[in-house]
Amino acid sequence: MSLGQSIRHGAAWLFIGNMGSQALTFIFGIVLARLLAPADFGMLVTISVFTGLAGFVSGGGMGQALVRAKEATKQDYDIAFTLQIIIGCLIYASFFFSAPWFARWYDTPLYSDLLRVSALSFIFRPFVNLPSNILFRNMRFKAQTGVRITTLLLSSAVSIGMAYTGYGVWSLIIGGIVGSAASVLLLAPLAKWRPGWSLDLRRGRDIARYGFMVSANDIVIYLRSQSSNFVLSRSLGTTSVGLYNKADSLSHIPFIAISGSVYDPLFRSIAKSADNADLVKYLYLRSIKLICIYTFPAYVLLYWLADEIIHVLYGAKWAGTAAPMSILVIAGFFMSISHPAGAVLTALNKLRQELFVSLTSFATVIAALAIGIRYGITGVAWAMVVSYAAVSFHMSLTASKAVNIRLADIPRAALPAAYQGCIIFLVLYLLDTGSHGMIKAPIPIILIYGITAATTFVLSGVFSPFEDLRQESKKWVGAVMTILKIGKNGAVKTHES
């Protein structure tokens, strides 16, 4: 299988996994949102701000170091496992003893027990990380997809069952622990991995050196993304955190499903082909083009349907989610363009440059939030949009220098998607103004706007001046024709029988 075929095959399975997990998370999230209050989700998010940060320390970036390395031996994995299990135990101990202080800080005694139980995941993580790294290195994304879907089903079933019986926020905490335990049992046999111990400090330093820079970047990026939740939890309370976090997660669905499917195979392929400058340039720009073609229309549709989606899926108690969601989808356009740059910089070991971008963007977020928090949840949402625009520009500029292309080549790669997105926006705008509010029921609005957007996506691509759009639209037309042909043949056979 060629490199291009490997990328497409890996991206296809990751897309299936991301779409499947997003769809299931979406459905289960609706059920849980109906059973639980926004404050329950707000408590989980508040805890996750701190446990998530510690998670990057526990991994230490060593997994990506092993994936990127030209060769990785059994001893290398044993060294990484040993270091991660030691760090994980230390992290759990720190959370266990600091939990009462954490609860007093938020004036919520329940936080003490919640934090201690939630932190148990750090004991499981090395047993999940190492086999996952092996599957990632070998580009066995199909196996990873199967594990992800299975554990999601199991953890969500536990959470829903506990929520239904009245366990509140505990249903979210225990569901996550069950999912981690299930991952341990499934991943090791698939990767044919057994834990081993090694304290070869010389080789460990080589792994940790690259891992430290990866981890530093991840930590800064995480702090940037979670700063809004932290500010809201301290200023407006857990209900506001729950509402904002729901808006943020919904607005990220196209990005996670599509861009997230491309990132891992792109990273691994560029790491393998780092010496081929022309191939790296092609892979980088091509990934931007394809990601934007599929995310831009989705963001346009989410912008128009934010109120209806929240009303239908989550009910009146989540109505405060719609306004920040319609704002945060704007950030998705910038994220789609800049996300492949992270894969390029990490794969080419340009981690110092990436860290500088991350630190600069973090400072931008803090400054924007300081202004935005005065205007509540919507102000925080606009602050995040501004920060994402800034980091997108800075990250794209840094990546363009790393692969020796002009900065203008990056927006040019996104131009076909921008053209199509504008057409879809215009059509939906005309539909909205032409209907004069005659359609008021949210479900018909979602169906009509969704069908209109999908039809416009295909037709605008077929008659587009951009070859890339024509090719993608032809694929969809061909897929629809194949489905119709299969359906027709099936109907004929049924009639004949």
pLDDT of residue 418: 93
429 in a structural domain: no
411 in a structural domain: no
Distance (Å, whole) CA 117 – CA 23: 28
Residues of the chain with pLDDT under 50: 1, 4, 491-492, 494-495, 497
116 in a structural domain: yes
Residue 121's domain comprises 36-230
Q: Report CA-CA distances (Å) from 200 to 131, 214, 255.
A: 20, 21, 40
pLDDT tens-digit map of 15-32: 666 666 767 777 888 888
Distance (Å, whole) CA 360 – CA 345: 16
pLDDT of residue 494: 46
Mean pLDDT for all residues in the chain: 82
pLDDT of residue 106: 81
267 in a structural domain: no
Distance (Å, whole) CA 75 – CA 197: 8
Q: pTM for the full model?
A: 0.65
Distance (Å, whole) CA 447 – CA 434: 17
416 in a structural domain: no
pLDDT of residue 497: 45
162 in a structural domain: yes
253 in a structural domain: no
pLDDT of residue 158: 93
Question: Contact at 8 Å (CB) between 353 and 345?
Answer: yes
pLDDT of residue 72: 74
Distance (Å, whole) CA 61 – CA 455: 43
12 in a structural domain: no
pLDDT of residue 326: 92
Q: How many domains does the chain have?
A: 1
